[in-house]
């Protein structure tokens, strides 16, 4: 019969065409959520007052670290500059999109997991729901941590301006907000590391034993990745990101070891769990 939908495979298998359609649909849902969030971001860009409730606005919130530095260093010449006629408009547009990404994070994070779900077993699906429930708070916590540490980061970075009475630190608004938004998003995404590791362990791709053996290499890679993804080359910003990531790595390691222990008690160990690192696992 024309227009009839193909019945779902109980094991979650799909032909390539259906995978691509599924990806397209979920991408469109995520994009639509970001657009809706961006519209809200545009509305709350400036201060909003509704009855007794008020919000200072996205612009005010993101310039707060900048204002904090100016308040603590009244003699310094530090200001934001909108260099051309379109700069104010493009700044509001980019910050609205940034706000949209944050507001819509429950939607697009879920779309990522939902795209993976059909290929998982029932047990893995239950575990993945738990992973999703942890991923969103961690992403938002990473963004919040970045926002709270920004005043200190700016205090150190602006402190390198020569104190000779002639130098000033006039910031281009576009450069400043690019730094701020990348800083916040980099922290939010990086804090998803333990979710990724625990998720791989939960579905049997990775083990706590492997993470324990590789912790030195993991710490090195965390510092290298922190140096690459942070928007400035200074070591302070790198340590701000790498420090919490190292803590989160060891928390993920502890959770993975617990999963390994429960898997052993249940007799549900994967075939490769007892093999040495230089031995090949059996093909199935």
Q: Which domain holds residue 220?
A: 192-269
Instruction: Centre a 10 Å sphere on the Cβ of residue 272 and count the other Cβ atoms it contains.
Output: 13
**Inside any domain, residue 65:** yes
Phi-psi region of 137 (alpha: psi -120 to 50; beta: other; left: phi over 0): alpha
Phi, psi at 50, each rounded to 5°: -125, 100
- Asked if residue 246 lies in contact with residue 221, where contact means CB atoms within 8 angstroms, the answer is no
**Inside any domain, residue 134:** yes
Whether residues 179 and 212 fall in one domain: no
Whether residues 186 and 196 fall in one domain: no
Whether residues 93 and 76 fall in one domain: yes
Whether residues 97 and 214 fall in one domain: no
- Single out the residue of 89, 87, 32, 41 nearest to residue 62, CA to CA: 41
Q: How many domains does the chain have?
A: 2
Phi, psi at 69, each rounded to 5°: -65, -45
CA-angle at 114, arms to 187 and 196, nearest 5°: 40
Whether residues 93 and 130 fall in one domain: yes
- Single out the residue of 179, 93, 107, 166 nearest to residue 139, CA to CA: 107
Residuewise pLDDT in 10s, the chain (284 residues): 444 444 555 555 556 677 788 888 889 999 999 999 999 999 999 888 777 777 888 998 888 877 877 777 777 777 888 878 888 899 999 999 999 999 998 888 888 777 766 666 666 666 667 767 788 888 889 899 888 888 777 777 777 776 665 556 777 888 889 888 888 888 888 888 888 888 778 777 788 888 888 889 989 988 888 887 776 666 777 888 888 889 989 988 888 888 888 777 766 555 545 555 555 555 44
Q: Read off the pLDDT of residues 166-194 as tens digits, 9 standing for 90 and up.
A: 556 777 888 889 888 888 888 888 888 88
Tokens 């996205």 belong to 58
Domain end call among 166, 190, 214? 190
Domain end call among 142, 170, 190? 190
Say what the pTM is.
Answer: 0.73
Whether residues 161 and 56 fall in one domain: yes
3-state secondary structure of 93: helix
Whether residues 168 and 40 fall in one domain: yes
Whether residues 263 and 178 fall in one domain: no
Whether residues 53 and 86 fall in one domain: yes
**Inside any domain, residue 282:** no
**Inside any domain, residue 197:** yes
The whole-angstrom separation of Cα 59 and Cα 72 is 20
Whether residues 178 and 165 fall in one domain: yes
């Amino acid at each position: 019969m024309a227009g009839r939908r193909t019945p779902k495979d109980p094991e979650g298998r799909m032909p390539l065409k259906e995978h691509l359609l599924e990806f397209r649909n979920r991408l469109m849902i995520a994009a639509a959520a970001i657009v809706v969030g961006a519209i809200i971001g545009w509305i709350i860009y400036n201060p909003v007052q509704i009855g007794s409730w008020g919000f200072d606005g996205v612009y005010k919130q993101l310039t707060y670290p900048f204002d904090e530095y100016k308040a603590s260093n009244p003699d310094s010449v530090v200001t934001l500059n909108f260099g051309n006629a379109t700069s104010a408009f493009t700044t509001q547009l980019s910050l609205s999109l940034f706000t949209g990404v944050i507001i819509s994070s429950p939607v697009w994070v879920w779309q990522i997991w939902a795209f993976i779900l059909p290929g998982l077993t029932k047990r893995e699906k239950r575990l993945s729901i738990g992973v999703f429930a942890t991923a969103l708070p961690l992403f938002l916590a990473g963004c919040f941590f970045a926002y709270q540490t920004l005043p200190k980061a700016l205090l150190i970075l602006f402190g390198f301006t020569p104190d000779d009475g002639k130098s000033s630190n006039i910031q281009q608004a576009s450069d400043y907000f690019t730094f701020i938004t990348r800083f916040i998003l980099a922290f939010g995404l990086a804090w998803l590391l333990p979710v990724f590791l625990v998720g791989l362990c939960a579905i049997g791709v990775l083990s706590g034993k492997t993470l324990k053996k590789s912790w030195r290499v993991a710490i090195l890679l965390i510092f290298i990745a922190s140096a690459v993804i942070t928007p400035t080359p200074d070591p302070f910003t790198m340590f701000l990101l790498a420090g919490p990531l190292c803590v989160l790595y060891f928390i993920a390691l502890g959770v993975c070891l617990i999963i390994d222990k429960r898997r052993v008690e249940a007799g549900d160990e994967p075939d490769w769990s007892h093999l040495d690192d230089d031995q090949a696992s059996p093909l199935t």
